[in-house]
Amino acid sequence: MKVLVVEDEIELNKLIYNLLMKEKFMVNTVFNYKDAFRQLIDYNFDVIILDIGLPDGNGLNLLNDIKINHPDSSIIIISAKNSLDDKLAGLDKGADDYLTKPFHLSELISRIRAIIRRKNFEGKNIFQFNELKIDIQSNAVYINNIELKLTKKEFQLLLYFISNKNRMITKDAVAEHLWGDNIDFVDNYDFIYTHIRNLRKKLTEAGCNDYIKTIYGLGYKFG
Amino acid sequence: MKLLNKSSLIYVIVSIVIFLITSVLFYKLITFTINNENDEKLKVNNLRVFHLISKNHDVNNLPPIYEITELNKAPSFSMESYKDTLIYDDIENDIELFREYKKTYKLGSKTLQITTRQIKLETHDYFNSIGLSIFISFLLLIILILVLNRIIFKNIWFDFYYNLSQLKKISFSSTEDIILKDSNIKEFKDLKDISESMLNKLKQEYLSLKEFTENASHEIQTPLAIIQNNIEELLQDTTIDEQKIRNIQSIYFNINRLKKINKNLLLISKIENQQFKDVEPINVNHILNQILLDLNDLIHQKDIQLKCVFKDELIIKGSKTLIEILITNLLTNAIKHNNLNGFINIEINKNSLTIENSGIDLSNDQKKQIFKRFYKSSSNSSSVGLGLNIVDSICKSNNYKLEYFNENGKHKFIIHF
């Protein structure tokens, strides 16, 4: 899986690069419009992570170019501008997803994995992890091939964990992933705990190993 | 007092004073002239009578118009005198005022005294007719002045009042430009020029301040992202000991707060800039149901009793994003500041949304501050204190009326769309 990261902030670029390398992607990174353009002439990428606000050009123009010359590449826009116009323009021009800075790295991974899943859907929408099997298309979960009923939120939660296997996910990232970032929960994450407890209970009662670990009261880790 | 009324009042007062003075003067002048004329006539008549007598005509007395008396003793000098005198007039059957002129003449050895008289018009008759005519002319003059004043005012001051009404509409946050009218009157033109340059200066300063806030908020996003992501990466390391984790946890928690503050400030500035232009018909009932579905977990967490009464289908025109934020903020507020086992009542009417929740009563001071930026009901709360301010901003920018009541442990928010 080849990923191109177009991000002018050196620190952020590095962070995304390290993250994706850890997740076993093949990653190229560039810091400006010109280099991104050159990379796109030489290579094909499965996923392009594109910052719109580049110092030497608007990422939205690059988007046009990608859609014409690389119709198979998926694009995730990352932008500091949380403006609806930009978001709509980006998605209108063929971007697959849009993330506003600052975002959680676990959210970025989950978005990339979702895109990859969507791409490879033909015949490959089953996700297997030991005794746990997830059919993403029909939103069904199987433990040792016996179906386990989960609520919509529990299913989303499980998928988020599996997308970020072996990564510590903070409660904050979980809350934002499940409820969006319009809701201000800062003072209370108890209800997340309730969801996790329910999910854990359902999984273990169905005979699944307890893969969800609580880390320092800060977050959770799956795997 | 309006300038027009003030100037009209001055005109009226001055006119009345002038009217009184001129009436008196006029009266004096007229009576003086008439008396003079009368005296002259009496003198001439007197002389005429004397002439007739001197030509040996027989002249009879015609009292009280003229009387001739022979004096026994001739005065040492020729005597003449004017005087006003009251005489009983048998024709009028009344005592009347007469003007009389006496003169002594020498005719041969005889000394004659001839008295001529004329009835005097009574003073108040003069006064009445003169006063009435002056009064009428002044009344006409005053009416004319008032009407003229009004017409002139409308024309001359039109530009002034127009500019005034324009200036009343000034709002720096609105994108509408204020256009002032030029005037051919120098004072008004000066006023217009000064107002315009002042406005421009203020607007520029306001814009640069606003731009700074926006830019600052934007520029903070990226460093925040880098810090947050670095911490998240740091937390992946399982070898860190617990004490250090606590430090990192505190950093992470506060970065989150910064993130939220920044995000909300950006949102407020966007609302105030009217940047949400995607106006469409919105079904508030549907949106409310959707949000409640999302917030269900939080409501259950506190064992809150939820009661929804939809009396009508509320459909408004507006930005869907903003309406969602508005309702979400009101509901999260109602949940956050609720008691355990409390209640939330939601009611939708034809044109309004009411959200009522149980909670601790606020002091009068707190009630006034509830919509203020960064206001928090309790200092230990880790919330940002911008939720209700955003609600307020959205209502203001869309001209919705927002009401808040708090009594007996109930908090009630009503929005009239």
What tens digit of pLDDT does each residue of B370-400 get?
A: 888 887 766 555 667 888 889 998 998 888 9
Q: Are B329 and B295 in contact (CB under 8 A)?
A: no
Q: Are B413 and B352 in contact (CB under 8 A)?
A: no
What tens digit of pLDDT does each residue of B208-217 get?
A: 888 888 788 8
Give the number of A-B residue pairs with CB atoms closer than 8 Å: 109
How much is the pLDDT for A84? 60
Record: contact A170-B235, CB cut-off 8 A: yes
| Cβ within 8 Å of A, B 257-276 | 257, 259-260, 263-264, 266-267, 270, 275-276
CA distance, residue B311 to nearest chain A CA (Å): 27
CA dist., res. A179 & res. A149, Å (int) = 21
How much is the pLDDT for B353? 92
What tens digit of pLDDT does each residue of B15-46 get?
A: 889 888 988 888 888 888 888 888 898 899 88
What tens digit of pLDDT does each residue of B263-322 get?
A: 888 888 888 877 777 788 999 999 999 888 888 878 888 888 999 899 888 899 888 888
Pairing assessment for the beta strands A47-51 and A2-6 based on DSSP bridges: parallel
How much is the pLDDT for B350? 87
Report the candidate in B114, B107, B97 with the shortest Cα–Cα distance to residue B44. Answer: B114
Record: contact A9-B295, CB cut-off 8 A: no
How much is the pLDDT for B398? 86
Which chain A residue is nearest to residue B240, measuring alpha carbons? A216
How much is the pLDDT for B78? 67
Record: contact B226-A191, CB cut-off 8 A: no
Q: What is the mean pLDDT of residues B357-364?
A: 86
How much is the pLDDT for A184? 65
Report the candidate in B23, B220, B177 with the shortest Cα–Cα distance to residue A101. Answer: B220
How much is the pLDDT for B256? 84
Which chain A residue is nearest to residue B248, measuring alpha carbons? A218
High-pLDDT (> 70) share of chain B, %: 95
How much is the pLDDT for A6? 93
CA distance, residue B221 to nearest chain A CA (Å): 6
How much is the pLDDT for A75? 92
Burial degree of B264 (CB within 10 A; 0-12, 13-18, 19+): buried
Contacts of B25 (CB under 8 A, 6+ apart): none
How much is the pLDDT for B111? 83
How much is the pLDDT for A186? 47
DSSP secondary structure letters along B154-217: HHHSHHHHHHHHHHHT--TTS-PPP-PPP-SSHHHHHHHHHHHHHHHHHHHHHHHHHHHHHHHH
What tens digit of pLDDT does each residue of B215-261 get?
A: 888 788 888 889 988 988 888 887 888 888 888 888 888 888 888 88
Q: Which of A9, A106, A167 sits opposite B222 (nearest CB)?
A: A9
Q: Is the pTM of this model over 0.95?
A: no
How much is the pLDDT for A49? 93
Q: What is the mean pLDDT of residues B1-14?
A: 84
How much is the pLDDT for B123? 64
How much is the pLDDT for B174? 66
Reply yes or no on whether the pLDDT at B345 is more than 70.
yes
How many CB atoms sit inside 10 A of residue B13's CB? 10
Rg over CA atoms, chain B:
49
- According to DSSP, residue B268 is labeled H
Which residues in chain A come in under a pLDDT of 70?
81-86, 120-124, 181-188
* Average pLDDT of chain B to the nearest whole number: 84
Q: Considering only residues B303 and B177, tell me which one the structure prediction assigns the higher pLDDT.
A: B303
